[in-house]
Structures are given as structure tokens and as C-alpha cells.
């Protein structure tokens, strides 16, 4: 099952090793303090530093340790609810604005990587979103037509009879192709972004957990593991790793573990059979699987949710392998070289949220689709911290919802996963 050199760290860290940075001295004061050094925090920092504000980013672990260097690298338009669902809840204008932000985030990510010259294998490979039963196939077909004027999404159906042109598997009932979705090496993207932030004059202090935050007359006093820092403005950019620091945010973010494996290197002919078009792939199960070839097309990187509660990479690996083999029986004897996990942040309305609460800025709740969106909204919240009008987003105008009795642990998660897994397994 495991290769001799099997590791429980992200496959991406082979190319982009965790950064070794000087620990540095924590400044006593700063204009802008950003807590969390993933895509959200660093894109915000880039904005404020380039506008001449003294900007400090702290992270409890090494820079980029969170989801930004662990994710599947699938870059999409990131909005989960459909237009009909959004329109019913928020009205036509806001529904359109939300979907437009999804498109903006996808465009921004590619444009940012290109114009900044970041070497991170961004490729517009397209997504094959596979139907796990015939009802889902029909739903997908209905979902792509007719399209709203101005919000047309390039998409076409691939029936089961032609599925092998997309995927070397007979386990699905066809699917839809979104040619505009892309893939990226997530840790290399993070590293390129981090280097840009450092070049712009951002100070990054790793291994410096924010422990307590108090609002003062001229901003915030933040107690950290390495001393106290006063900041005129502060941003919480901790997403799926948000702990007790801000109870208001904790009540609105649902951290959920997502688990990934990478296979050992495959024979190139086998890879060409399994994933001939280099697409990123996901499916219509409620407990979704997402997978893709590695940037050099040597391995399959395969992720999903494996158990009702959280587990560890050693236990999740065989379960993911079994699911992988159900899709690609040819991989039965293929070994696993890497297994890891990370936390995504879900929200009660399955939408991200951006804004300011009691003077503290936030951008969070990407619901597992932050590879592009987190950086885009990080950029926007950075603009908001500068007081720029263009920073405003559709997500500033929706409520950051919570639920009664939700204060710490998502007690409702295990029953929901069990319910959805049961539905998936009986194919409804
Ligand atoms: C396994 C996995 C697979 C995923 N796959 C995809 C995908 O294919 N496509 C997609 O679009 N999205 C995907 N995502 C989601 C995406 O990675 C995230 O939405 C995005 O990276 C969030 O970025 P962020 O900067 O907001 O948070 P993160 O990158 O998680 O950074 C938060 C940081 O905050 C730090 N922190 C927490 N508390 C404190 C504190 N008190 N003091 C200081 N620092 C603190 C943490 O150490 C962490 O480094 C995936 C996520 C995971 C975990």
C-alpha cells in the first residue's frame, strides 16, 4: 500500500520545501497586522505594503503551513449555490454579483500569476465534473442551460458513451466539462506570492501564534507567543484554522478536514489512459472526491472526506486508495507515496464572507474552494483596509450566518456526513 519513502506531508512540499526564515523580532507597533500567512493574508499584505503601510504578518506555524500549501490545486469559479438558490435568498442583483465574483476570482488568479511571473504550473486544463448516477447527469445538463445573459459559463456535456475521452473509468454516468477551470501547484503559488510580499517590504514572523486580541482606542493590542504588538488595523486570515482567538468568527466558521493522497509515479501510458486531457476532476457525490494528475503528470493526487469525524493521514490513506481503485481499477497495485490532510472552512450559507466586525477585518469561509478565491478576496480585503472603494465585494453584503448552540465544535458534522454518505452509497 505504501512506498518505502512514504511521507505524511503534502506531495507539493517535495518541490516547495517549508520556508526556513529567520524568526526575527516582533515589532512593538505596526500599521497593519495580519494573522495567518496563507493566500488570504499574503494577498492582503501585498496590497497594504505596496500602498506604503507598515505590514506585519504572523503565523502560528511556518509561513503557508495551512491549507494554502496543502490543497488540491483545483482553481474554479468557486461559488457552490446555483443562481436559483442565490436569487431566492438574496434577490436578483446580489445573486448576479456573487456569481460575478466567482468569475472574477478565477480571472484574477491567472492574471496575478502571469503578471507577477510566478512559476507554479498554472494551466487552464478544464474540469470534468462527473455524474455519479443518471439523475445527477440530467441535473448537470439542466444546470448549464439556459444561461443568464452576462454570466454565461463555458460548459458542455459528455455522455457516458464518450466518457473515456475524458477519464479512463466506467464508474460514472458521464459529466460536464468546464473548459475554463485550471490547475496550479498550490505550494509553489504560495511561495511565489510570499516572495512578492517580502519584496514589497512585508515582515513575516513565523511560529508566532496570536493568543489574545483586544480592541483599543487607536486599533488593536495583540498578545502573541512572542510578545505584544499594537496595530492600527488588523485582519484575521486564519480560515479553517480559526480557533478561539475571535469567538464571533468561530461561531460562523465550520472547520472540516479534507484528506489527500498522492500515488507513486505511474507509467506514462497508464496516466495517458486514465487522465488523457490533464483535467481536474470532481464528482456529484455529496461527499465529494476531487483529483488530478500532478503537474508533471507522473502521479494521481486524490482527495476527499473519509470518515464521520476527523482522523489521521495513516488511517485516511487506505480509504482514499480504495475509493481511487473503485474509479480506476487499474490502480489496484499502485502504492501511495504521500498522505496528508488540512482544514477547509465551511459556512452555514456555503458562501465566503468578507468584512469588518468591531474594527477587525476578515475574509474567510471558502467552503473548500479557496485556491483562487482566497487570494482574490485577500486582495480585496487589503484594499478595504486601505479604505479603497474598489475593495467592496458582493460578500460584504451578505450576512455571516451562525446557528444557535454553535460555539466550538461542529457537533452536527458527523450526522451530516453519515446522512450524505448513505445517500451517495444508495445512489440518490
Ligand atoms: C486538503 C485540502 C484540499 C483543498 N483543495 C482545494 C482545491 O483543490 N481547490 C480549491 O479551490 N480549494 C481547495 N482547498 C481550500 C483552499 O486551500 C483554502 O480555501 C485556502 O488555502 C485558504 O487560504 P487562507 O489563507 O484563507 O487560509 P490558510 O492557508 O489555511 O492559512 C491560515 C493560516 O492561519 C494560521 N493561524 C491560525 N490561527 C492562528 C493564530 N492564532 N495565530 C497565528 N496564525 C494562525 C495557520 O497556521 C495557517 O497557516 C483545499 C483545502 C484543503 C485543506
263 closest CA partner among 352, 358, 355, 334: 334
CA of residue 75 to ligand 1 center, whole Å: 14
Give the pLDDT score at 421. Answer: 55
CA of residue 371 to ligand 1 center, whole Å: 9
Q: Which of 258, 368, 378 to mutate to test the pocket of ligand 1 (most atoms within 8 A of CB)?
A: 368
Q: Which of 371, 375, 376, 381 to mutate to test the pocket of ligand 1 (most atoms within 8 A of CB)?
A: 371
- The pLDDT of 182-195, averaged and rounded, is 98
- List b or e across 137-169, with b for residues whose CB sees 16 or more CB atoms inside 10 angstroms: beebbeebeeeeeeeebebebbeeeebeebbbb
CA of residue 82 to ligand 1 center, whole Å: 24
Q: Where are the domains of the chain?
A: 12-71+188-254+348-406
3-class DSSP assignment, residue 395? helix
pLDDT band of residue 408 (cuts 50, 70, 90) is confident
- The pLDDT of 296-310, averaged and rounded, is 91
Is the pLDDT reported for residue 415 higher than 70? no
Give the pLDDT score at 23. Answer: 79
**What is the per-residue pLDDT across 69-80, written as a single tens digit (0 to 9) for each?**
999 999 999 899
CA of residue 345 to ligand 1 center, whole Å: 8
Which protein residues are within 6 Å of ligand 1, measured from CB?
35-41, 58-61, 65-68, 70-74, 209-210, 237-241, 243, 245, 258, 260, 290, 303, 342-344, 366, 368-372, 374
**What is the per-residue pLDDT across 30-58, written as a single tens digit (0 to 9) for each?**
999 999 999 999 999 999 999 999 999 99
Q: Are 67 and 187 in contact (CB under 8 A)?
A: no
Q: Return the half-sphere exposure (C-beta side, CA atoms, 13 A cut-off) of residue 260.
A: 28
**What is the per-residue pLDDT across 112-167, written as a single tens digit (0 to 9) for each?**
999 999 999 999 999 999 999 999 999 999 988 877 888 888 999 999 999 999 99
Q: Are 68 and 52 in contact (CB under 8 A)?
A: no
Q: Which of 43, 187, 238 to mutate to test the pocket of ligand 1 (most atoms within 8 A of CB)?
A: 238
pLDDT > 70: percent of the chain? 95
CATH architecture assigned to 12-71+188-254+348-406? 3-Layer(bba) Sandwich (3.50)
CA of residue 131 to ligand 1 center, whole Å: 28
**Cα–Cα distance measured from residue 7 to residue 9, given in angstroms and rounded to the nearest whole number:** 6
Around Cβ 359, how many Cβ atoms within 10 Å? 11
Nearest CA to ligand 1 atom 3: 71
Amino acid at each position: 500500500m505504501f512506498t518505502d519513502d512514504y511521507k505524511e506531508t503534502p506531495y507539493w512540499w517535495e518541490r516547495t520545501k517549508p520556508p526556513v526564515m529567520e524568526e526575527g523580532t516582533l515589532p512593538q507597533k505596526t500599521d497593519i497586522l495580519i494573522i495567518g500567512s496563507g493566500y488570504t493574508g499574503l494577498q492582503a499584505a501585498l496590497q497594504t505594503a505596496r500602498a506604503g503601510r507598515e505590514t506585519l504578518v504572523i503565523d502560528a506555524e511556518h509561513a503557508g503551513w495551512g491549507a494554502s500549501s496543502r490543497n488540491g490545486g483545483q482553481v474554479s469559479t468557486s461559488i457552490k449555490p446555483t443562481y436559483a438558490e442565490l436569487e431566492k435568498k438574496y434577490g436578483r442583483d446580489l445573486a448576479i454579483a456573487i456569481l460575478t465574483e466567482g468569475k472574477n476570482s478565477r480571472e484574477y488568479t491567472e492574471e496575478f500569476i502571469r503578471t507577477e511571473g510566478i512559476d507554479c504550473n498554472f494551466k487552464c486544463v478544464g474540469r470534468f465534473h462527473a455524474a455519479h448516477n443518471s439523475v445527477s447527469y440530467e441535473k448537470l445538463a439542466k444546470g448549464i442551460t439556459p444561461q443568464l445573459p452576462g454570466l454565461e459559463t463555458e460548459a458542455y456535456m459528455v455522455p457516458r458513451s464518450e466518457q473515456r475521452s475524458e477519464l479512463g473509468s466506467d464508474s460514472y454516468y458521464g459529466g460536464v466539462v468546464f473548459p475554463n477551470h485550471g490547475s496550479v501547484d498550490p505550494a509553489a503559488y504560495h511561495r511565489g506570492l510570499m516572495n512578492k510580499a517580502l519584496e514589497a517590504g512585508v515582515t513575516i514572523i513565523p511560529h508566532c501564534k496570536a493568543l489574545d486580541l483586544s480592541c483599543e482606542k487607536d486599533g488593536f493590542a495583540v498578545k502573541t507567543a512572542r510578545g505584544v504588538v499594537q496595530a492600527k488595523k488588523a485582519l484575521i486570515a486564519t480560515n479553517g484554522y480559526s480557533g478561539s482567538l475571535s469567538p464571533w468568527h468561530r461561531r460562523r466558521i465550520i472547520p472540516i478536514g479534507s484528506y489527500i493522497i498522492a500515488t507513486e509515479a505511474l507509467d506514462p501510458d497508464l496516466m495517458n489512459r486514465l487522465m488523457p486531457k490533464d483535467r481536474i476532476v470532481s464528482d456529484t457525490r455529496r461527499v465529494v472526491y476531487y483529483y488530478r494528475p500532478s503537474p508533471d503528470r507522473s502521479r494521481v493526487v486524490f482527495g476527499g472526506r473519509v470518515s464521520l469525524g476527523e482522523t489521521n493521514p495513516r488511517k485516511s490513506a487506505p480509504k482514499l486508495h480504495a475509493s481511487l481503485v473503485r474509479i480506476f481499477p487499474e490502480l489496484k497495485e499502485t502504492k501511495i507515496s504521500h498522505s496528508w490532510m488540512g482544514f477547509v472552512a465551511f459556512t452555514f450559507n456555503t458562501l465566503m464572507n468578507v468584512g469588518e466586525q468591531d474594527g477587525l477585518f476578515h475574509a474567510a469561509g471558502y467552503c473548500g474552494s479557496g485556491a483562487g478565491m482566497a487570494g482574490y478576496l485577500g486582495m480585496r480585503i487589503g484594499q478595504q483596509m486601505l479604505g479603497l472603494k474598489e475593495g467592496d465585494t458582493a460578500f460584504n453584503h451578505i450576512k455571516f450566518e451562525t446557528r444557535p448552540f454553535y460555539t466550538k465544535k461542529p457537533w452536527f458534522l458527523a450526522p451530516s456526513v453519515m446522512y450524505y454518505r448513505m445517500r451517495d452509497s444508495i445512489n440518490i
